[in-house]
Structure 1
Amino acid sequence: MSRKPKRRAGWLFPFVLLLAAATGYWAVTRYLGFADTPIAGLHAGDTLQVEQGDSFATVLGKLKAVGAQAHVLEWQALGRQLGVAGKLQVGEYALEPGTTPRMLLMRMREGKVISHRFTIVEGWNIRELRAALGRAQPLRHDAAKLDDAGLMKALGHPGMHPEGRFLPETYVYTRGDGELAVLRRAFDAMSLALAEAWKTRAADLPLQSPEQALALASIVEKETGVAEERPAIAGVFVRRLRIGMRLQTDPTVIYGMGAAYAGNIHKADLLADTPYNTYTRMGLPPTPIAMPGRAALQAATHPAAGDALYFVAVGDGSGRHVFTSSLAEHEAAVRQYIQRYRAARSPATP
């Protein structure tokens, strides 16, 4: 008895191929959709901190911890495609809504971390600077427990007074940076700016060193907020130094008063002798009294020509000054200032 041969299942192989193709297409489509679809669960202000030694799996865990959806297999596949695994750079990364997995991994591969800014304001003294550093976030406060002497030692300049030594500018830092790193850059910037100003200084200045130029620049910085007046202010003080006349500048007296200054100077303060009282002592104070900006450094080393030996505020709210060459002219300008001051504060006449 003969048997019929079994019919081969010729349809099975094409079906398997079709199924595999369909599955592959679905996987590729889903993968591409994942890579360029905004990450769900992100909120404004979210950040991701990649630290030294973090593995890719650790970073994905941190991503989940902030509420973002992180499907491990898809992230790993995208990481392999972009060549990110093992190349994530340390730092803080923004997770603003709309960020896609591809965008985030590219940022971490290229090290596009969040930047923070700290600005040293022209005219700040060292106490004000250190107080502002203490409030800065997320700056690491690695200098908070150091006194001024310890601070300068940590910066590599033991024995140097810190006043005036940090250039007023905006400094960019990233999470993990400390106060010492910012101050070190500010110190180097001031050293360079002072050296450049001193190198190109005007001839015959009555200044013996860059340090004296820095002290004069700090006084100029505190005496006026009007930029174009700085050379004229510097000119007055340079002429006084040249003829042996006391500088008689209030900002130095205020600096010498320290915490005792309560907003006003009295006659007793002008008579109280301190190393910084330029009414009682000749010449420049022993150190700068504030952080001068570049314009003040240039003014101190390139003072305006003229014969003025005095100046007083106009008193009209502009911040400008009247410059005079004789004591009589100065006293008249002072009387006018007092009149304007009183008129501005007297009640209006019905």
Structure 2
Amino acid sequence: MSAALALVVAGSVVGALVLRSALGMDKVSDYAGPGDGQVQVNVQPGTGLVAVAQELKQDGVVADADTFVRAFADVGGKLHPGGFTFKKQMKASDAAQLLADDNSKVIYFALSAGLRLNESLDTIAKSASVDRKDLDKLNAEPAQFGLPSQATNLEGYLAPGEYRFPTGTAAKDILAALVSATVEELKKAGITDPAKQHEVLTVASIVQAEGGRADYGNVAGAIYNRLKPNDQTDGLVQSDATVTYGLGTKTVQLTDAQKADTNNAYNTYVHPGLPPGPIGSPGSNAVAAAAHPTANDFLFWVTVNLDTGETKFAKTYAEHQANVAQYQQWCAANSGKCA
């Protein structure tokens, strides 16, 4: 009987534990705090509070996402984009207060590599709450940012990355910081002459738009090869990306008429040499590739898979045509992606 009673008691305990776990009764809803260590969390534009709470839970900042959401509501916080440094195992109310306090003190925005100037200025205007017309006026006078005469605007010079500025920072100071970051990136790559910086930045912007990341060096090498005397390209870069930039579009399908349009200053199918300037903001890898291109004999390249960025290179036009056929096959198998 004693043995039977022990089994009943043990079974009851196990059953209670299982039921408790199933009902979430053993879940820790909050940490005692104050926590330790550092956890960096970036709140992107458009991110919802629940998503942030789940990330904080996953990163070990708070014990329970729902508890954090309630705590954030209690402090009357308003979620804004920005970068925040939390601790591991914080009390939910402390984490909520940190998020509520810090997000009102900074201007935060993120610019991805390859963005065109207008896209970057739109992002800055919205995030910094500045008049876009003020940005346009500053953009029209690139010399005030120390740029060479070849630069007619800030295209290519607004460095990609995440930025945080104190609330109230002047628009000119924001743009100056981004331009400075680009110039420093060029100097780090060994390019110190302003005119040469403009040339390298132009090549880098084409590399950013045209090549898969692993092939940046080869694309840069091929571009420079095209600028040298050769018997196949007549000094023409023949970049679709530059043509679409001049057209103000982003299509990857160009008509013969568009490629023959001499009125498009960025049409590198008819105008020899590089276009007048950058066609977007290149990332650091593209800048490094343009500053130090991979030595090769290639004159042609084509991205044959728009999902992976896989790029094929060729020394002759005949080889290139075979690669173009591979790209066309990929387009046929992936309806809508090449539109």
TM-score, with structure 1 as normaliser: 0.60
SS in 2 for 1:238: helix
Distance between the aligned counterparts of 1:164 and 1:325, measured in 2?
29
1:249 corresponding residue in structure 2? 239
Matched, 1:141 2:130: yes
SS in 1 for 2:312: strand
Distance between the aligned counterparts of 1:251 and 1:309, measured in 2?
16
**Partner residue of 1:197 out of 189, 209, 232:** 189
Q: Which runs of 5+ in 1 are unaligned?
A: 1-38, 48-95, 202-206
| Letter paired with 1:277 | N
Displacement of 1:263 in angstroms is 6.7
Distance between the aligned counterparts of 2:330 and 2:135, measured in 1?
44
Cα 1:343–1:227 change in 2 (3 A) is closer
Distance between the aligned counterparts of 1:208 and 1:179, measured in 2?
26
SS in 2 for 1:161: coil
- Post-superposition Cα deviations, 1:115-158, rounded to whole Å, max 9, x if no partner, equal 4421121111111111112322xx2305x223645435498248
SS in 1 for 2:227: helix
2:20 corresponding residue in structure 1? none
**Partner residue of 2:226 out of 240, 245, 248:** 240
Mapped contact 1:247–1:278 kept (Cα < 8 A):
yes
Distance between the aligned counterparts of 1:262 and 1:341, measured in 2?
13
Cα 1:195–1:149 change in 2 (3 A) is farther
Displacement of 1:177 in angstroms is 2.5
Mapped contact 2:223–2:237 kept (Cα < 8 A):
yes
Distance between the aligned counterparts of 1:183 and 1:316, measured in 2?
32
Distance between the aligned counterparts of 2:240 and 2:298, measured in 1?
18
Distance between the aligned counterparts of 1:154 and 1:302, measured in 2?
26
| Letter paired with 1:336 | Q
**Partner residue of 1:266 out of 245, 249, 255:** 255
Identical amino acids, percent of aligned pairs: 29
Displacement of 1:294 in angstroms is 1.2
| Letter paired with 1:240 | R
Distance between the aligned counterparts of 1:286 and 1:264, measured in 2?
22
Distance between the aligned counterparts of 2:138 and 2:166, measured in 1?
24
1:130 corresponding residue in structure 2? 121
Cα 1:173–1:157 change in 2 (3 A) is closer
Distance between the aligned counterparts of 2:204 and 2:142, measured in 1?
26
**Partner residue of 1:338 out of 321, 328, 337:** 328
Distance between the aligned counterparts of 1:320 and 1:238, measured in 2?
20
- Post-superposition Cα deviations, 1:142-189, rounded to whole Å, max 9, x if no partner, equal 5x2236454354982487421111111111123223433321110111
Distance between the aligned counterparts of 1:301 and 1:294, measured in 2?
10
Distance between the aligned counterparts of 1:127 and 1:300, measured in 2?
23
Mapped contact 1:118–1:171 kept (Cα < 8 A):
yes
Mapped contact 2:156–2:282 kept (Cα < 8 A):
yes
SS in 2 for 1:209: helix
Mapped contact 1:140–1:177 kept (Cα < 8 A):
no
Distance between the aligned counterparts of 2:142 and 2:329, measured in 1?
51
SS in 1 for 2:207: helix
SS in 2 for 1:290: coil
Mapped contact 1:148–1:162 kept (Cα < 8 A):
no
Displacement of 1:337 in angstroms is 2.3
1:304 corresponding residue in structure 2? 294
Matched, 1:215 2:202: yes
Cα 1:116–1:344 change in 2 (3 A) is same
TM-score, with structure 2 as normaliser: 0.62
Mapped contact 1:161–1:287 kept (Cα < 8 A):
no
Mapped contact 1:155–1:184 kept (Cα < 8 A):
no
| Letter paired with 2:278 | P
| Letter paired with 1:216 | V
Displacement of 1:112 in angstroms is 11
Distance between the aligned counterparts of 2:124 and 2:143, measured in 1?
15
Cα 1:147–1:197 change in 2 (3 A) is same
May I ask how many residue pairs the two structures share in their alignment? 244
SS in 1 for 2:134: coil
1:181 corresponding residue in structure 2? 173
Distance between the aligned counterparts of 1:200 and 1:156, measured in 2?
18
Distance between the aligned counterparts of 1:334 and 1:270, measured in 2?
16
Distance between the aligned counterparts of 1:326 and 1:112, measured in 2?
55
| Letter paired with 1:210 | Q
Displacement of 1:330 in angstroms is 0.9
1:164 corresponding residue in structure 2? 156
Paired residues for 1:307-326 under 5 Å: 307-315=297-305, 317-326=307-316
| Letter paired with 1:307 | D
1:227 corresponding residue in structure 2? 213
Cα 1:181–1:345 change in 2 (3 A) is same
Cα 1:46–1:316 change in 2 (3 A) is closer
Mapped contact 2:113–2:281 kept (Cα < 8 A):
yes
| Letter paired with 1:169 | G
